[in-house]
Amino acid sequence: MSHQTGIKPNEKLLKIFGKAKNGKLRVIKISIENEELCCSATAEVKKDVERDFDKLVAPIIEDDVPCYILYRLDTKISVGYAWLMLSWVPDISSIRQKMVYASTKATLKTEFGTAYIIEEIHATTKDETTWEGYQRHKNAFAAPAPLTSREEELVELRKTEINTEINTDSKHQTLGGLACPLTPAAEKAIEDLLNGTYDYLQFCIDLEAEEIQVSQAAAIGICDLPKQIPEEHARYHLYLFKHTYDGDYLESFVFIYSMPGYTCSVRERMMYSSCKAPFLEKLQAFGVEIVKKKLIMVLN
């Protein structure tokens, strides 16, 4: 189950939501005040979606105050105009603010109408709230980067690794590798991800306990994804990428296996390589359908 705050829209905001469906509003700014979702500002459509973006959004973004921005796109879908949801939670926000805004997002989407929202951005820096930042978000997974020679070398290493150090009493051998158990916290985090509480999870293998733990759970923007990858240890990453393709709204799970080359121990490299396939099978059993898998070699 996802953790929600119980914060609901007030009557004024609900009326604005109803008005927004006629297509005349371009922007709705929503804040959390006195344990309610409130309308902080609105703006009507002026020109096209691109020219309105920076002109209407930038003036209502405050440097140190979180908010949600609902931005009406020019694309029409079956229920009416499509909308973009931008969650602005600057890095300097308090931990409580970050938690409250992350936990209330699902409620806001439901109250506005999930079918209308075809794209989402989680922004932590001002440049991510611009039209250019929006385009970077859309294009982030447009094409995979070519492997470097060291990345290709790592791929070959993964193909030829033979595990000689693993105590198989604590796990079981499968045709695809070694299945380390998930901790209850890791299983709970996956359920919360599926229920909309998070869009990013990071997993680590406890080499002593020989189990997979969740090391990070958050709602982040696509531009923040590279910042989550450690430089000294291997990790598994699961990200829910929300985007549009040919006018269709898509929510795609992306799995990333990051590996810092030879700066970590041989045993760590072998454990992560051997446990990856069974871990992906566990994710699939939870209902997580991976559409893209990437190996990232971290160069210090």
Q: Spell out the per-residue pLDDT of the chain, length 300, in tens.
A: 344 557 999 999 999 999 999 999 999 999 999 999 999 999 999 999 999 999 999 999 999 999 999 999 999 998 999 999 999 999 888 888 888 898 888 899 999 999 999 998 989 899 999 999 999 888 775 545 555 545 554 554 554 443 333 333 444 444 345 778 999 999 999 999 998 899 999 999 998 888 999 999 999 988 888 889 988 899 999 999 988 777 777 888 999 999 886 677 878 888 888 889 899 999 999 999 888 777 766 654
- What are φ and ψ of residue 160, in 5° steps? -110, 0
> pLDDT at position 162, please?
38
Is the CATH code 1.10.3720.10 the one for domain 8-139? no
The separation between CA 13 and the C-alpha centre of its own chain, rounded to angstroms, equals 27
Domain ranges, ordered by start, for the chain: 8-139, 149-297
Given this chain, do its domains 8-139 and 149-297 carry the same CATH topology?
yes
Residue whose C-alpha is closest to residue 235's, from 210, 216, 262 = 216
Q: pTM of whole model > 0.75?
A: no
The separation between CA 203 and the C-alpha centre of its own chain, rounded to angstroms, equals 14
Question: How far is 160 from 50, CA to CA, in rounded Å?
Answer: 50
DSSP-derived secondary structure for 243-261: EEETTEEEEEEEEEEEE-T
Token pair recorded at residue 260: 């810092």
Question: How far is 295 from 179, CA to CA, in rounded Å?
Answer: 19
Contact 237, 258 (CB under 8 A): yes
Q: What is the DSSP letter of 199?
A: S
> pLDDT at position 247, please?
72
Element containing residue 70 per DSSP (H, E)? strand 67-77
Contact 205, 212 (CB under 8 A): yes
Contact 192, 105 (CB under 8 A): no
> pLDDT at position 173, please?
46
Helix (H, G, I), strand (E, B) or coil at 144: coil
- Select the CATH number that applies to the domain covering 149-297 from these four: 3.40.20.10, 1.20.120.1200, 3.10.290.10, 3.40.190.10: 3.40.20.10
Residue whose C-alpha is closest to residue 83's, from 166, 26, 19 = 26
Contact 23, 72 (CB under 8 A): yes
DSSP-derived secondary structure for 124-193: SSGGGGSHHHHHHHHHTTSSPPPPPHHHHHHHHHHHH----S--GGGSEEETTEEEPPBPHHHHHHHHHH
> pLDDT at position 210, please?
87
